[in-house]
Amino acid sequence: MYAIIRTGGKQAKVREGDVLDVEKLRATGEVTFTPLLLVGDDGSVVSGRSALESAKVVATVLGESAGDKIDLFKYKAKTGYRRRQGHRQKYTRIQVTSIEGPGIAKKAEAKPAAKAAAEESAADKPAAKEEAAKKPAAKKPAAKKADEKPAAKKPAAKKPAAKEPAAKKPAAKKPAAKKPASGSTAKSTSTKKGSAKPESSEE
C-alpha cells in the first residue's frame, strides 16, 4: 500500500520503509503526517476527508541534508549594478515506518491467504500425479526396420530424338509473261472502237 502526503508545499508518494528528503522540519524523533490519499494492496482507495482524519503516516527523522548550490547573479546594464548570491536548500531526511488507515488491506493480512492457496495447490499436485501414473502410456508407432530399403526407381525410357527438318530448297523462278507488242495493241484498240474509220484508198 502507499499514501500521498503533503509537506513543505509539496506532495510525495510514500510506502513503508521509504527514505526521502523533505523541506526542513523543526522536529526530532517521530513525525506524523495526515495523508491526502490512501491506496491498499487490493486496489481499495480512501480519499474522503472524514475517513482520512483518522489515518496517519508515521516517519522517523534521520537527520538533515542540503541540496546543490545555486549561484544567483543580478545586474543592470549601463548602471554598474551587480549582485551575486548563493543558495543551498536545507532538507530533513525521514524514513516512513508505518501507514495506518481505515479499510486498507496490508500485505501482512494478505500473506496467510496466499499461503493457504499455495498449500491447497500443493495438496492437489500428488493426486494429479497418481492419476497420470494410472493412465497407460500411448503406444508409439513401430520404427521401420533398417533392412527394408525403398525400391530403386527404374530409369525412364529415352525418347527418340526429334528429326531435324530438311533444309528448304529455293523455289524455282517462274518465267515472266511476255507482253504483246505496241503495234498489236493499237490494232486491237482500233478494231474495238467503232468510231475509227480506215483511210480511203483513193489517191
89-93, 141-145, 169-173, range with the lowest pLDDT:
141-145
Do the domain assignments include residue 122?
no
Reported as a pLDDT band with limits 50, 70 and 90, residue 191 is very low
Domain housing 57? 2-105
Query: How many Å apart are CA 7 and CA 21, to the nearest integer?
Result: 11
Residue 91 has pLDDT above 80, yes or no: yes
Do the domain assignments include residue 17?
yes
Do the domain assignments include residue 54?
yes
Reported as a pLDDT band with limits 50, 70 and 90, residue 145 is low
Do the domain assignments include residue 8?
yes
Query: How many Å apart are CA 92 and CA 62, to the nearest integer?
Result: 8
- pLDDT recorded at residue 203: 40
Do the domain assignments include residue 131?
no
Task: Give the list of residues 6+ apart from residue 197 with CB closer than 8 angstroms, or none.
Answer: none
Query: How many Å apart are CA 43 and CA 167, to the nearest integer?
Result: 97
- pLDDT recorded at residue 102: 78
- pLDDT recorded at residue 64: 93
Residue 5 has pLDDT above 80, yes or no: yes
Query: What is the mean pLDDT of the segment spanning 126-137?
Result: 57
Query: How many Å apart are CA 175 and CA 177, to the nearest integer?
Result: 6
Do the domain assignments include residue 113?
no
- pLDDT recorded at residue 110: 44
Q: Which of 55, 54, 84, 82 is nearest to 69 (CA)?
A: 84
Residue 30 has pLDDT above 60, yes or no: yes
Do the domain assignments include residue 167?
no
User: How many domains does one find in the chain?
Assistant: 1
Torsion angles phi and psi, residue 173, rounded to 5: -75, 130
Query: How many Å apart are CA 34 and CA 56, to the nearest integer?
Result: 5
Do the domain assignments include residue 133?
no
Instruction: Choose between 164 and 82: higher pLDDT.
Output: 82
